[in-house]
Protein backbone atom coordinates (compact mmCIF):
# COMPACT_ATOMS: atom_id res chain seq x y z
CA UNK A 1 0.00 0.00 0.00
CA UNK A 2 1.25 3.45 -0.90
CA UNK A 3 0.24 6.53 1.06
CA UNK A 4 0.15 9.52 -1.31
CA UNK A 5 1.11 12.93 0.01
CA UNK A 6 0.83 16.34 -1.60
CA UNK A 7 4.32 17.75 -2.03
CA UNK A 8 6.13 20.53 -3.87
CA UNK A 9 7.76 19.56 -7.16
CA UNK A 10 11.51 20.11 -7.14
CA UNK A 11 14.80 18.97 -8.63
CA UNK A 12 16.74 18.16 -5.48
CA UNK A 13 16.61 14.44 -6.16
CA UNK A 14 15.22 11.48 -4.26
CA UNK A 15 14.56 11.52 -0.54
CA UNK A 16 13.50 15.16 -0.25
CA UNK A 17 9.84 15.78 0.61
CA UNK A 18 8.54 19.33 0.89
CA UNK A 19 4.89 19.03 1.83
CA UNK A 20 2.21 21.09 0.10
CA UNK A 21 -0.47 21.25 2.79
CA UNK A 22 -2.63 24.42 2.96
CA UNK A 23 -3.63 23.85 6.58
CA UNK A 24 -0.06 23.32 7.77
CA UNK A 25 1.21 26.20 5.63
CA UNK A 26 -1.32 28.47 7.33
CA UNK A 27 -0.33 27.37 10.81
CA UNK A 28 3.37 27.68 9.97
CA UNK A 29 2.81 31.23 8.66
CA UNK A 30 1.15 32.08 11.99
CA UNK A 31 4.09 30.53 13.83
CA UNK A 32 6.53 32.82 11.96
CA UNK A 33 4.52 36.00 12.55
CA UNK A 34 6.09 38.62 14.88
CA UNK A 35 2.77 38.72 16.74
CA UNK A 36 2.98 35.06 17.79
CA UNK A 37 4.44 34.56 21.27
CA UNK A 38 3.95 32.16 24.14
CA UNK A 39 1.83 30.18 24.78
CA UNK A 40 0.50 30.13 21.19
CA UNK A 41 3.97 29.57 19.75
CA UNK A 42 4.47 26.23 21.50
CA UNK A 43 0.87 25.22 20.83
CA UNK A 44 1.50 25.68 17.11
CA UNK A 45 4.76 23.72 17.33
CA UNK A 46 2.83 20.82 18.86
CA UNK A 47 0.16 20.96 16.14
CA UNK A 48 2.69 21.10 13.32
CA UNK A 49 4.87 18.29 14.60
CA UNK A 50 1.90 16.07 15.39
CA UNK A 51 0.92 16.35 11.72
CA UNK A 52 4.48 15.97 10.44
CA UNK A 53 5.27 12.82 12.43
CA UNK A 54 1.94 11.30 11.35
CA UNK A 55 2.90 11.90 7.71
CA UNK A 56 6.27 10.24 8.24
CA UNK A 57 4.66 7.25 9.95
CA UNK A 58 2.10 6.86 7.17
CA UNK A 59 4.69 7.02 4.38
CA UNK A 60 7.81 5.43 5.84
CA UNK A 61 6.81 2.88 8.47
CA UNK A 62 6.02 -0.72 7.54
CA UNK A 63 2.54 -2.23 7.70
CA UNK A 64 1.23 -5.66 8.54
CA UNK A 65 -1.94 -7.56 7.69
CA UNK A 66 -4.04 -8.34 10.76
CA UNK A 67 -7.21 -10.08 11.85
CA UNK A 68 -8.52 -8.52 15.05
CA UNK A 69 -11.69 -9.19 16.97
CA UNK A 70 -13.92 -6.19 17.52
CA UNK A 71 -16.39 -5.88 20.40
CA UNK A 72 -19.04 -7.30 18.07
CA UNK A 73 -17.21 -10.63 18.08
CA UNK A 74 -19.13 -11.41 21.28
CA UNK A 75 -22.34 -11.41 19.24
CA UNK A 76 -21.32 -12.66 15.79
CA UNK A 77 -18.45 -14.49 14.14
CA UNK A 78 -18.38 -11.68 11.56
CA UNK A 79 -17.11 -9.26 14.21
CA UNK A 80 -13.52 -9.44 12.95
CA UNK A 81 -11.53 -6.61 11.40
CA UNK A 82 -9.25 -7.69 8.55
CA UNK A 83 -6.89 -5.15 7.05
CA UNK A 84 -3.48 -3.52 7.27
CA UNK A 85 -2.12 -1.42 10.11
CA UNK A 86 1.21 0.08 11.11
CA UNK A 87 3.66 -2.58 12.30
CA UNK A 88 3.66 -1.81 16.02
CA UNK A 89 6.98 -3.60 16.49
CA UNK A 90 8.98 -1.38 14.11
CA UNK A 91 11.74 0.03 16.37
CA UNK A 92 12.17 3.80 16.43
CA UNK A 93 14.62 6.26 17.96
CA UNK A 94 13.81 9.95 18.28
CA UNK A 95 16.81 12.25 18.67
CA UNK A 96 16.29 15.44 20.67
CA UNK A 97 18.70 18.11 19.42
CA UNK A 98 18.64 20.69 22.20
CA UNK A 99 17.34 23.27 22.34
CA UNK A 100 15.04 23.97 19.39
CA UNK A 101 14.46 20.23 19.04
CA UNK A 102 13.36 19.54 22.63
CA UNK A 103 9.63 20.11 22.18
CA UNK A 104 9.41 18.68 18.62
CA UNK A 105 11.25 15.56 19.75
CA UNK A 106 8.91 15.07 22.71
CA UNK A 107 5.86 15.41 20.44
CA UNK A 108 7.26 12.82 18.02
CA UNK A 109 8.27 10.49 20.86
CA UNK A 110 4.84 10.66 22.49
CA UNK A 111 3.08 10.11 19.14
CA UNK A 112 5.21 7.07 18.35
CA UNK A 113 4.54 5.65 21.81
CA UNK A 114 0.81 5.98 21.16
CA UNK A 115 0.86 3.86 17.99
CA UNK A 116 3.90 1.57 18.35
CA UNK A 117 4.80 -0.86 21.08
CA UNK A 118 6.42 1.49 23.63
CA UNK A 119 9.06 -1.15 24.33
CA UNK A 120 10.62 -0.47 20.90
CA UNK A 121 10.56 3.34 21.11
CA UNK A 122 13.30 5.44 22.71
CA UNK A 123 14.40 9.05 22.89
CA UNK A 124 18.05 10.13 22.76
CA UNK A 125 19.45 13.57 23.54
CA UNK A 126 22.22 15.64 21.93
CA UNK A 127 23.39 19.12 22.81
CA UNK A 128 24.53 20.65 19.53
CA UNK A 129 25.52 24.26 18.89
CA UNK A 130 26.73 26.24 15.91
CA UNK A 131 30.39 27.21 15.85
CA UNK A 132 31.25 30.65 14.50
CA UNK A 133 34.36 32.66 13.62
CA UNK A 134 35.36 36.18 14.64
CA UNK A 135 33.10 37.60 11.93
CA UNK A 136 30.08 35.76 13.37
CA UNK A 137 30.02 33.45 10.33
CA UNK A 138 28.89 29.89 10.94
CA UNK A 139 31.83 27.50 10.57
CA UNK A 140 30.16 24.26 11.62
CA UNK A 141 28.62 22.61 14.65
CA UNK A 142 29.87 20.88 17.75
CA UNK A 143 28.33 18.34 20.16
CA UNK A 144 28.94 19.26 23.79
CA UNK A 145 26.82 16.58 25.45
CA UNK A 146 24.86 13.44 24.69
CA UNK A 147 22.58 10.85 26.29
CA UNK A 148 22.34 7.87 23.94
CA UNK A 149 20.24 4.87 25.00
CA UNK A 150 21.79 2.19 22.80
CA UNK A 151 22.42 1.07 19.22
CA UNK A 152 20.22 1.89 16.24
CA UNK A 153 20.43 -1.32 14.22
CA UNK A 154 17.30 -1.74 12.05
CA UNK A 155 15.70 1.31 13.72
CA UNK A 156 13.91 4.25 12.20
CA UNK A 157 16.03 7.12 13.54
CA UNK A 158 14.18 10.44 13.51
CA UNK A 159 15.74 13.90 13.87
CA UNK A 160 13.04 16.53 14.55
CA UNK A 161 14.68 19.96 14.17
CA UNK A 162 12.47 22.93 13.20
CA UNK A 163 14.90 25.15 11.29
CA UNK A 164 17.10 23.59 8.61
CA UNK A 165 19.43 26.52 7.85
CA UNK A 166 23.01 25.59 6.95
CA UNK A 167 22.56 21.89 7.74
CA UNK A 168 25.71 21.81 9.85
CA UNK A 169 24.06 20.88 13.15
CA UNK A 170 21.94 18.11 11.69
CA UNK A 171 24.77 16.70 9.60
CA UNK A 172 26.91 16.60 12.74
CA UNK A 173 24.11 14.85 14.65
CA UNK A 174 23.60 12.35 11.84
CA UNK A 175 27.32 11.65 11.72
CA UNK A 176 27.38 10.98 15.45
CA UNK A 177 25.13 7.98 14.84
CA UNK A 178 27.28 6.43 12.11
CA UNK A 179 29.12 4.26 14.63
CA UNK A 180 25.99 3.24 16.54
CA UNK A 181 24.76 0.66 14.08
CA UNK A 182 23.00 0.41 10.74
CA UNK A 183 19.72 2.29 10.91
CA UNK A 184 16.82 1.09 8.81
CA UNK A 185 16.09 4.67 7.83
CA UNK A 186 17.39 8.08 8.95
CA UNK A 187 14.79 10.82 8.64
CA UNK A 188 14.82 14.53 9.43
CA UNK A 189 11.60 16.33 10.31
CA UNK A 190 11.87 20.08 9.69
CA UNK A 191 9.41 22.93 9.56
CA UNK A 192 11.53 25.13 7.28
CA UNK A 193 14.57 24.21 5.18
CA UNK A 194 16.83 26.09 2.76
CA UNK A 195 18.56 24.92 -0.43
CA UNK A 196 21.84 25.12 1.49
CA UNK A 197 20.48 22.74 4.13
CA UNK A 198 19.37 20.19 1.56
CA UNK A 199 22.76 20.35 -0.20
CA UNK A 200 24.74 19.89 3.04
CA UNK A 201 22.71 16.89 4.18
CA UNK A 202 22.71 15.18 0.80
CA UNK A 203 26.45 15.67 0.41
CA UNK A 204 27.40 14.50 3.90
CA UNK A 205 24.62 11.94 4.52
CA UNK A 206 23.35 10.75 1.11
CA UNK A 207 20.97 8.18 2.59
CA UNK A 208 19.05 10.66 4.74
CA UNK A 209 15.36 11.29 3.99
CA UNK A 210 14.15 14.86 4.51
CA UNK A 211 10.58 15.86 5.37
CA UNK A 212 9.83 19.59 5.59
CA UNK A 213 6.76 21.79 5.58
CA UNK A 214 8.35 24.69 3.73
CA UNK A 215 11.33 25.55 1.55
CA UNK A 216 12.65 29.11 2.05
CA UNK A 217 14.98 30.54 -0.60
CA UNK A 218 14.26 34.24 -0.14
CA UNK A 219 17.80 35.44 -0.86
CA UNK A 220 17.72 34.04 -4.41
CA UNK A 221 17.61 36.25 -7.54
CA UNK A 222 14.14 36.84 -9.08
CA UNK A 223 14.71 34.49 -12.02
CA UNK A 224 15.69 31.69 -9.62
CA UNK A 225 12.61 32.29 -7.49
CA UNK A 226 10.50 31.98 -10.65
CA UNK A 227 11.97 28.55 -11.41
CA UNK A 228 11.29 25.10 -10.03
CA UNK A 229 13.24 24.58 -6.76
CA UNK A 230 16.57 22.93 -7.51
CA UNK A 231 16.70 24.06 -11.14
CA UNK A 232 19.45 26.56 -10.34
CA UNK A 233 20.59 25.00 -7.10
CA UNK A 234 24.01 26.68 -7.26
CA UNK A 235 22.31 30.10 -7.31
CA UNK A 236 19.59 29.40 -4.77
CA UNK A 237 19.90 30.80 -1.27
CA UNK A 238 17.71 31.01 1.77
CA UNK A 239 20.31 32.47 4.14
CA UNK A 240 21.37 36.02 4.97
CA UNK A 241 24.92 37.05 5.93
CA UNK A 242 24.44 35.66 9.45
CA UNK A 243 23.13 32.35 8.11
CA UNK A 244 19.58 33.11 9.29
CA UNK A 245 16.73 31.77 7.16
CA UNK A 246 14.88 34.24 4.90
CA UNK A 247 11.92 34.74 4.98
CA UNK A 248 12.18 32.34 7.92
CA UNK A 249 10.65 33.01 11.30
CA UNK A 250 13.39 34.14 13.65
CA UNK A 251 15.11 32.05 16.30
CA UNK A 252 12.72 29.22 17.13
CA UNK A 253 14.90 27.98 19.99
CA UNK A 254 14.73 31.40 21.63
CA UNK A 255 10.99 31.71 21.09
CA UNK A 256 10.25 28.17 22.23
CA UNK A 257 12.05 28.68 25.53
CA UNK A 258 11.54 32.44 25.94
CA UNK A 259 15.28 32.60 26.47
CA UNK A 260 17.37 35.00 24.37
CA UNK A 261 20.89 33.74 24.89
Quote the pLDDT of residue 129.
75
Largest CA distance in the chain: 75
Quote the pLDDT of residue 261.
73
Quote the pLDDT of residue 2.
81
**Residue in 157, 219, 160, 205 with CA at minimum distance from that of residue 183:** 157
Quote the pLDDT of residue 143.
84
Residue 39: cis peptide before it, omega within 30 degrees of 0: yes
Q: What residue spans define the domains of the chain?
A: 16-59+89-257
CB 72 within 8 Å of CB 79: yes
| pLDDT tens profile 82-95 | 999 999 999 999 99
DSSP 233: G
3 state DSSP class of 171: helix
Return the C-alpha torsion angle 11, 206, 208, 160, nearest 10.
Answer: -90
CATH of domain 16-59+89-257: 3.40.50.2020
Q: How far apart are the first and last CA of the chain?
A: 47
In terms of pTM, does the model score above 0.95?
A: no
Quote the pLDDT of residue 144.
77
| pLDDT tens profile 171-203 | 999 999 988 999 999 999 999 999 999 999 999
Q: In whole angstroms, what is the distance from residue 172 CA to residue 78 CA?
A: 53
CB 130 within 8 Å of CB 239: no
Tell me the H-state helices in the chain: 22-32, 40-60, 102-115, 168-176, 195-204, 222-225, 252-257
Instruction: Report, as ranges of residue numbers, the positions in the chain whose pLDDT lies below 70.
Output: 1, 130-140
Q: In whole angstroms, what is the distance from residue 118 CA to residue 96 CA?
A: 17
DSSP, residue by residue, 15-70: TEEEB--HHHHHHHHHHHSTT--TTHHHHHHHHHHHHHHHHHHHHHS-EEEEEEE-
Quote the pLDDT of residue 138.
64
Q: How do 92-98 and 185-193 pair as beta strands?
A: unpaired
Long-range contacts of 214-217 (CB under 8 A, 24+ apart): 214/18, 214/25, 214/28, 215/8, 215/10, 215/18, 216/192, 216/245, 216/246, 216/247, 216/248
Amino acid sequence: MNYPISEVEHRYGEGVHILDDPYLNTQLARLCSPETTQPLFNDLIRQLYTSLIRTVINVEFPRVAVEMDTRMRAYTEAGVFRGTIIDRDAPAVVVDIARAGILPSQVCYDTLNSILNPAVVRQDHLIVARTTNAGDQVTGAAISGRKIGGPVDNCFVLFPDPMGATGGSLATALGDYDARGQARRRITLNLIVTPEFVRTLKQRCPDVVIYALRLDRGMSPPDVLASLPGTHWDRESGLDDRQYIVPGGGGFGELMNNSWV
